[in-house]
């Protein structure tokens, strides 16, 4: 025991845990040992173990004032304030334990009075949320898990924990927690939907759709549940655009109804100012919002009045990019479709543009009605354009099903902020020619793996580097080995852990896109590092923004191909022709210099021309 006391007195808590765990393997614990082991757990922020061990110590020795005092403070820290009153109340009846007093380091037990002064409801949940706000993911996840350990039936705790794991792309861990939550909340459609979302991210598309279908069957009145199912279909490479259109049509018939309001829609006619509304709820705030906000800030206030509809007010850090983009701003957080409908009509909007795509179900429900004389969908996912009340769809490319609504924009309809190139000369690990891919498990389909395997086999001395998306998790690494092992190239795949995508792209030579497309954010980061980005549009059913960006920069003829076979052939020709490397690299660098795509003022002029011409056309026709 003297050795244990020495460890406690010197604050060597890991050694305390190791010593007691070893001792308890062959003998029963004493009250004092439980107390010391509880303190050790407390000092490594394992409050759940600390609490239970302290209870055990108290049950074995209810006469030591130090144990009761410690328990009272611990109860406040974990949110059991009423229990703390009991342990505090009985202190006057208990005896001091001289052995504990001589052993404990000074100040190890938090002062009970100080804790009460800082008292918060659900303190562990509050602590976790605070860390999540500052993107301190490991700490946030730890405290969410501690909170759930104390409150295993708290629905918000599970949702918060899963949200934290999803933010880190730890989809495998999230799926395990969601399966546990589903056992506790078996008829809660939110958990079924979240599990479907997470399984989709893991590339388990069939299982994902099964979860979403189960949620629909549980609550056929919830339109949002069905929208999650639609998003799952869009992510599933087994479904082409027509499959999604048929499912969307079913959703529309079941859930979308015309909203009738007392405020009439704005009438057509000449305007001193065109009032244009932009719905930006759910818009990506990482790279899309900064680029969009920068362009819209150049609008001509003598011809237009721009009104924004989004979450929170403009003082919210997430909305900082829009401070100079709109004359007026409407906070539509948690706003239902009827309220949004009346807000837009009351604002007298002439042209309403939905930039949120399928991010907001309530927004989609609005577009079963006429909110403004002209209604436009402008989003990477064009499926909502199938709603009859969308008059036009702004996009670079367009599916055949939406051809009659297609509204092209001079230049490009894609928005993505570019970043500065890092000094990465030292990042390269070797001189071997390496392909690069920044693709999540949801993008790593059998078709994509097959195409990339053919490229590797045609170029024997090359490797494929994958940027890790939690790929070191055991189940994920096993899935990758099995996937690429089907094509005999698992040994030529390497995983690179890099938080900044630009650091990753510095470690190879050519970027390969998945066969079902990729986002403009990934493509622009690769191109700004002067890396060729090759891709195919053969099965790019949803017309990914990454390909649109390549075309907008004038690089489509060199990098984008209409079949997978041509994609494979072009990459191989490039690898085997070193003289072409510098030529294409210089062309990519030149595409970033004075390119209209990055000219925010000019892009705004193109948008204004489109809006003005469209309004004149609609007025001349007497309607959209």
pLDDT digits (tens, 9 = 90+) for 275-330: 999 999 999 888 999 999 999 999 999 999 999 999 999 988 889 999 999 999 99
According to the model, what pLDDT value does residue 419 have? 85
Collapse the DSSP code of 569 into the 3-class scheme (helix H, G, I; strand E, B; otherwise coil) and give the result.
Answer: helix
Instruction: Look up the CATH number of the domain holding residue 318.
Output: 3.40.50.11380
Do the domain assignments include residue 505?
Answer: yes
Collapse the DSSP code of 103 into the 3-class scheme (helix H, G, I; strand E, B; otherwise coil) and give the result.
Answer: helix
According to the model, what pLDDT value does residue 427 have? 61
Most confident among 100-114, 419-433, 469-483 (mean pLDDT): 469-483
- Over the stretch 441-477, which tens digit does the pLDDT of each residue have? 999 999 999 999 999 999 999 999 999 999 999 999 9
Residues 473 and 584 both lie in one domain: yes
Using CA atoms, how far apart are residues 255 and 226, in angstroms rounded to an integer? 9
According to the model, what pLDDT value does residue 429 have? 66
DSSP one-letter code for 263: S
Average pLDDT over residues 500-516: 95
According to the model, what pLDDT value does residue 409 have? 96
Residues 332 and 448 both lie in one domain: no
According to the model, what pLDDT value does residue 135 have? 86
On the question of pLDDT at 432 being above 80, the answer is yes
Proportion of the chain above pLDDT 90, given as a percent = 89
Instruction: Look up the CATH number of the domain holding residue 11.
Output: 1.25.40.10
- The answer to whether 543 and 399 are in contact (CB under 8 A) is yes
Residues 400 and 283 both lie in one domain: yes
Average pLDDT over residues 161-176: 94
Beta strands 493-496 and 274-279 are unpaired
Do the domain assignments include residue 138?
Answer: no
On the question of pLDDT at 334 being above 90, the answer is no
Average pLDDT over residues 104-110: 87
Q: 545: part of which helix (H) or strand (E)?
A: helix 545-552
Average pLDDT over residues 473-484: 95
Do the domain assignments include residue 157?
Answer: no
Residues 533 and 392 both lie in one domain: no
Residues 440 and 553 both lie in one domain: yes
Residues 389 and 465 both lie in one domain: no
Do the domain assignments include residue 129?
Answer: no
b/e burial code for range 142-180 (CB count within 10 A of at least 16 → b): bbbbbbbbbbeeeeebbbbbbebbbeeebbbbbbebbee
Count of CB atoms within 10 A of residue 37's CB?
27
- Over the stretch 178-231, which tens digit does the pLDDT of each residue have? 999 999 999 999 999 999 999 999 999 999 999 999 999 999 999 999 999 999
According to the model, what pLDDT value does residue 181 have? 96
What's the pTM? 0.88
Do the domain assignments include residue 364?
Answer: yes
The number of distinct structural domains making up the chain is 3
On the question of pLDDT at 425 being above 60, the answer is no
According to the model, what pLDDT value does residue 512 have? 98
According to the model, what pLDDT value does residue 424 have? 58
User: Of 95, 117, 139, which residue sits at a domain end?
Assistant: 117
Residues 284 and 369 both lie in one domain: yes
Using CA atoms, how far apart are residues 515 and 268, in angstroms rounded to an integer? 44
Residues 482 and 585 both lie in one domain: yes
On the question of pLDDT at 436 being above 60, the answer is yes
Instruction: Look up the CATH number of the domain holding residue 470.
Output: 3.40.50.2000
Do the domain assignments include residue 194?
Answer: no
Residues 400 and 516 both lie in one domain: no
Q: Which of 117-121, 349-353, 461-465, 547-551 has the lowest average pLDDT?
A: 117-121
What mean pLDDT value characterizes the chain?
A: 94
Proportion of the chain above pLDDT 70, given as a percent = 99
User: Of 367, 389, 407, which residue sits at a domain end?
Assistant: 407
Average pLDDT over residues 369-373: 95
Residues 498 and 393 both lie in one domain: no
Q: Could you identify the residue written with the tokens 């210099």? A: 593
Which domain, by its residues, includes 356? Answer: 274-407
Do the domain assignments include residue 30?
Answer: yes
Sheet with 392-394, strands from edge to edge, namely 328-331, 304-310, 274-279, 351-354, 374-377, 392-394, 406-407
On the question of pLDDT at 519 being above 90, the answer is yes
Residues 336 and 446 both lie in one domain: no
Do the domain assignments include residue 426?
Answer: no
Residues 402 and 280 both lie in one domain: yes
According to the model, what pLDDT value does residue 259 have? 92
């Amino acid at each position: 025991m003297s050795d244990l006391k020495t460890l406690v007195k010197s604050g060597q808590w890991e050694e305390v845990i190791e010593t007691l765990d070893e001792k308890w393997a062959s003998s029963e614990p004493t009250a004092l040992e439980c107390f010391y082991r509880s303190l050790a757990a407390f000092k490594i922020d394992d409050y759940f173990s600390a609490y239970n061990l302290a209870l055990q110590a108290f049950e074995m020795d209810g006469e030591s004032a130090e144990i009761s005092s410690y328990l009272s403070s611990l109860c406040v820290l974990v949110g059991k304030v009423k229990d703390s009153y009991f342990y505090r109340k009985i202190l006057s009846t208990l005896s001091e334990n001289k052995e504990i007093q001589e052993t404990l380091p000074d100040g190890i037990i938090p002062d009970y009075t100080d804790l009460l002064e800082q008292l918060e409801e659900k303190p562990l949940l509050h602590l976790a949320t605070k860390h999540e706000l500052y993107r301190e993911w490991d700490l946030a996840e730890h405290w969410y898990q501690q909170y759930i350990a104390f409150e295993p039936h708290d629905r918000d705790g599970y949702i918060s924990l899963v949200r934290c794991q999803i933010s880190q792309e730890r989809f495998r861990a999230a799926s395990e927690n969601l399966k546990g939550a589903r056992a506790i909340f078996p008829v809660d459609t939110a958990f079924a939907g979240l599990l479907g979302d997470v399984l989709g991210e893991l590339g388990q598309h069939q299982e994902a759709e099964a979860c979403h279908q189960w949620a629909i069957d549980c609550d056929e009145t919830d339109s949002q549940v069905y929208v999650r199912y639609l998003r799952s279909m869009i992510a599933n490479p087994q479904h082409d655009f027509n499959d999604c259109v048929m499912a969307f049509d079913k959703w529309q018939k079941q859930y979308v109804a015309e909203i009738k309001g007392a405020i009439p829609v704005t009438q057509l006619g000449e305007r001193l100012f065109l009032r244009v509304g932009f719905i930006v709820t759910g818009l990506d705030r990482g790279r899309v919002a900064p680029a969009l906000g920068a362009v819209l800030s150049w609008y001509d206030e003598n011809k237009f009045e721009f009104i924004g509809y989004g979450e929170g007010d403009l003082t919210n850090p997430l909305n900082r990019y829009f401070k100079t983009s709109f004359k007026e701003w409407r906070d539509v957080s948690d706003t239902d479709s009827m309220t949004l409908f009346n807000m837009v009509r009351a604002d007298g909007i002439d042209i309403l543009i939905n930039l949120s795509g399928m991010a907001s179900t309530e927004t989609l429900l609005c577009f079963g009605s006429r909110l403004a004389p002209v209604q436009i969908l402008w989003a990477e996912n064009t499926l909502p354009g199938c709603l009859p009340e969308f008059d036009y769809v702004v996009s670079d490319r367009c599916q055949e099903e939406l051809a009659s609504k297609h509204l092209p924009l001079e230049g490009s309809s894609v928005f993505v902020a570019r970043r500065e190139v890092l000094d990465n000369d030292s990042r390269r690990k070797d001189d071997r020619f390496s392909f690069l891919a920044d693709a999540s498990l949801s993008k790593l389909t059998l078709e994509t793996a097959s195409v990339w395997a053919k490229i590797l086999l045609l170029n024997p001395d090359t490797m494929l580097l994958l940027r890790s998306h939690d790929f070191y998790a055991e189940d994920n690494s096993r899935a990758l080995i099995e996937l690429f092992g089907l094509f005999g190239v698992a040994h030529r795949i390497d995983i690179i852990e890099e938080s900044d995508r630009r650091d990753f792209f510095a470690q190879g030579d050519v970027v390969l896109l998945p066969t079902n497309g990729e986002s403009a954010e990934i493509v622009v980061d690769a191109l700004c590092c002067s890396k060729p980005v090759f891709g195919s549009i053969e099965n790019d059913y949803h017309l990914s923004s990454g390909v649109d960006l390549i075309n907008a920069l004038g690089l489509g003829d060199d990098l984008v191909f209409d079949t997978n076979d041509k994609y494979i052939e072009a990459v191989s020709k490039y690898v085997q022709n070193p003289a072409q490397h510098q030529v294409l690299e210089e062309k990519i660098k030149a595409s970033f210099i004075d390119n209209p795509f990055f000219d925010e003022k000019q892009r705004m002029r193109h948008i204004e021309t489109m809006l003005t011409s469209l309004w004149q056309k609609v007025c001349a026709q007497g309607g959209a």
